[in-house]
Amino acid sequence: MTDEQKVEIPAKFEKLVAEIEKMPVVELAELVKVLEAKFGVSAAAPVAVAAAAAGPVEEKTSFSVELKEVGAQKIEVIKVVRDVTAKGLKESKDLVDAAAAGTAQMVKEDVKKEEADEIAKKFAAAGAKVEIK
């Protein structure tokens, strides 16, 4: 052990630790599995707890709306795309055609949750399916 890895071993565990130190790595791995099964614990649990306690997860504030399916009212969906993106007729039609062909298309990026929900409602009213990411 290096100086950084030195651990103060209580006297009551010295004999046990000495025995474990003599064991080959293969036997140590087997011992860990046996102890985990016997006591219903995991040697990896402290790592998972430490990772979970690392810090709060930031809430997402920016969303994107992706057109997944066009539906039967293609012209209405083109109108919604034009309204939402301020694109021209040709660009809107191309975007909707690509989505109709099975390639999901990003309609709007980096919008607030409320705006993304409003856009999704407009597309739903036109018969299209979108995904908010």
Q: Tell me, what CATH number does 108's domain have?
A: 3.30.1390.10
| pLDDT, position 30 | 84
Residues 72 and 47 in one domain: no
Supply φ then ψ for residue 40, to 5 degrees. Answer: 65, 35
| pLDDT, position 46 | 53
Q: Side chain identity at 72, as an amino acid letter?
A: A
Token code pair at residue 104: 């999901």
Count helices and strands in the chain by DSSP H and E runs: 6, 3
Residues 46-68 have a mean pLDDT of 66
Residues 48 and 72 in one domain: no
Residues 27 and 73 in one domain: no
Residues 110-117 have a mean pLDDT of 88
Residues 65-83 have a mean pLDDT of 88
Residue 38 has pLDDT above 50, yes or no: yes
pTM over 0.75: no
Please name the residue that has the structure tokens 């003599």. Answer: 22
Domain enclosing residue 125, as ranges: 63-132
How far, in Å, CA of 126 to CA of 71, rounded? Answer: 8
Residues 127 and 83 in one domain: yes
Residue 54 has pLDDT above 60, yes or no: no
